[in-house]
Amino acid sequence: MARMTMIEAIRDAMDVCMGLDENVVVFGEDVGYFGGVFRCTHGLQQKYGRSRCFDTPISELGIVGVAVGMAAYGLRPCVEMQFADYVYPAYDQIVSEVARIRYRSAGQFTCPIVIRMPTGGGIFGGQTHSQSPEALFTHVAGLKVVVPSNPQDAKGLLIASIEDPDPVIFLEPKRLYNGPFDGHHDRPVTPWSKHESGEVEAGRTVTPLGKAVVRRAGSAVTVLAYGTMVHVALAAAEDAGIDAEVIDLRTLVPLDLDAIVASVRKTGRCVVVHEATLTSGFGAELAALVQEHCFHSLEAPIARVTGWDTPYPHAQEWDYFPGPARVGRALIETMEA
């Protein structure tokens, strides 16, 4: 198996899908000739031609709006929002159109599109290049929401998303593009090319949507995480010396509730971690589900470690980011509760 960065894995997924299905088209801002500001579509226009991979005007609403029409025709658009922070002009199209076309037309029309977007902070991107808006999409009936944490999953989940008959919001933790950043911002990050998790299967490799995976088996406490926070949680468990079971959710909708319940019933404790703001974040949904399904197994209150309820700051990035120290404290407190 070859080692790839997450960027290369994402590109490979689109390459594989475009090669297998002529109806897959890729477009977005700077996506065509240049290959994307993060280089995720590099070479696709050259390989598949301008009518299948092209640049668009700076209009997220327009990108998603034309994708809806294309999907109604029968294409499978995989579009890029340059940053998740830029998706809001397209929000009406996503919520009122993309998510509901199948339902409201009783299946006469469907909307099998993928909306890719780099998410999360850790790159000193300030308010407009750091947000984690996943909960704005998990709240919308009709969407699927995916957040990979490594190159293999990024490829496998993206192929599954492009092949899925329903619309998928595909959030790419940009801090993981080049290596498994674990929140220790003062230490160098091992690049994926030198990391065993950088191994990516060649060709059409599919990671099914709706299946979580245990990244670290443990018996003391369950940590529910996704994206960058998976690596932060692993580091926190290591640093705090706690035998945590770290679950990488991979897909938020549909959610692998069985995996969550099985783990929490075993450990009796649960810490939920995400980078997004606290209030009405996806962690609230996770905490509610855990108490509904595991109440009699719980030995401690469910803890949430998240970004603060402020806009994502610039200079104070590491005070905002829920790093391994904060997660570690929560693990210890949950064990002592």
Partner 1 sequence: MTDTPRLSLHVPEPEVRPGDTPDFSNVAIPRAGSVPRPEVDADPKSMRDLAYSIIRVLNRQGEAVGPWAGTLTNEELLEGLRDMMTLRTFDARMQTAQRQGKTSFYMQHMGEEAVSCAFRKALLPGDMNFPTYRQAGLLIAGGYPLVDMMNQIYSNEADPLKGRQLPIMYSSREHGFFSISGNLGTQFVQAVGWGMASAIKGDTKIAVGWIGDGSTAESDFHAALVFASTYRAPVVLNIVNNQWAISTFQGIARGGSGTFAARGLGFGLPTLRVDGNDYLAVHAVAKWAVERARRNLGPTLVEYVTYRVGAHSTSDDPSAYRPKTESEAWPLGDPVIRLKNHLIVQGVWSEERHKQTEAEILDVVITAQKEAEKHGTLHAGGKPSARDMFEGVYAEMPAHLRRQRQQAGV
DSSP state of 94: I
Nearer to partner 1, 199 or 285 (CB): 285
40 neighbors 11 (Cβ within 8 angstroms):
yes
- Note whether 92 binds partner 1 by CB under 8 A: yes
Closest CA to 176 of 203, 199, 147: 147
Phi, psi of 12, rounded to the nearest 5 degrees: -60, -40
Closest CA to 167 of 148, 183, 187, 144: 144
180 neighbors 229 (Cβ within 8 angstroms):
no
- Note whether 168 binds partner 1 by CB under 8 A: no
Footprint of partner 1 on residues 111-130 (CB under 8 A)?
none
Nearer to partner 1, 295 or 315 (CB): 295
Burial 131-162 (b: 16+ CB within 10 A, else e): bbbbbbbbebebbbbbbbbbbbbbbbbbbbbb
User: In the bound complex, what is the minimum distance in angstroms from residue 29's beta carbon to partner 1?
Assistant: 13
Structure tokens at 256: 């692998």
- Note whether 93 binds partner 1 by CB under 8 A: yes
- Note whether 106 binds partner 1 by CB under 8 A: yes
- Note whether 33 binds partner 1 by CB under 8 A: no
User: In the bound complex, what is the minimum distance in angstroms from residue 252's beta carbon to partner 1?
Assistant: 11
Selected binder of partner 1 within 2, 103, 202, 299 (CB under 8 A): 103
User: In the bound complex, what is the minimum distance in angstroms from residue 110's beta carbon to partner 1?
Assistant: 7
User: In the bound complex, what is the minimum distance in angstroms from residue 257's beta carbon to partner 1?
Assistant: 7
Phi, psi of 6, rounded to the nearest 5 degrees: -65, -35
Selected binder of partner 1 within 42, 62, 123, 297 (CB under 8 A): 62
Residue 278: how many other CB atoms lie within 10 Å? 15
Question: What residues contact 214, with CB distance under 8 A and at least 6 apart?
Answer: 245, 246, 247, 248, 259, 263
- Note whether 109 binds partner 1 by CB under 8 A: yes
- Note whether 250 binds partner 1 by CB under 8 A: no
Closest CA to 175 of 137, 129, 134, 135: 129
Nearer to partner 1, 40 or 289 (CB): 289
Alpha helices in 173-314 (DSSP H): 228-240, 257-267, 282-294
Selected binder of partner 1 within 9, 31, 70, 294 (CB under 8 A): 70
Find the part of the chain contacting partner 1 (CB under 8 A) among 232-240, 253-261, 305-313, 318-326. Answer: 253-261
DSSP state of 85: G
Strand pairing category for 168-173 and 144-146: parallel
Write down the catalytic residue from 42, 129, 195, 231: 129
Distances (CA, A) of 242 to 72, 182, 219: 51, 16, 9
- 293 included as an active-site residue: no
Find the part of the chain contacting partner 1 (CB under 8 A) among 97-105, 211-219, 237-245, 321-329. Answer: 97-105
Find the part of the chain contacting partner 1 (CB under 8 A) among 12-20, 107-115, 128-136, 150-158. Answer: 107-115
- Note whether 51 binds partner 1 by CB under 8 A: yes
Q: What are the catalytic residues? A: 129
Residues that bind partner 1 in the complex, under the rule CB under 8 A: 25, 51-52, 56-57, 59, 61-62, 65-70, 72-75, 89, 92-93, 96-97, 101-110, 141-142, 144, 165-166, 210, 253-255, 257
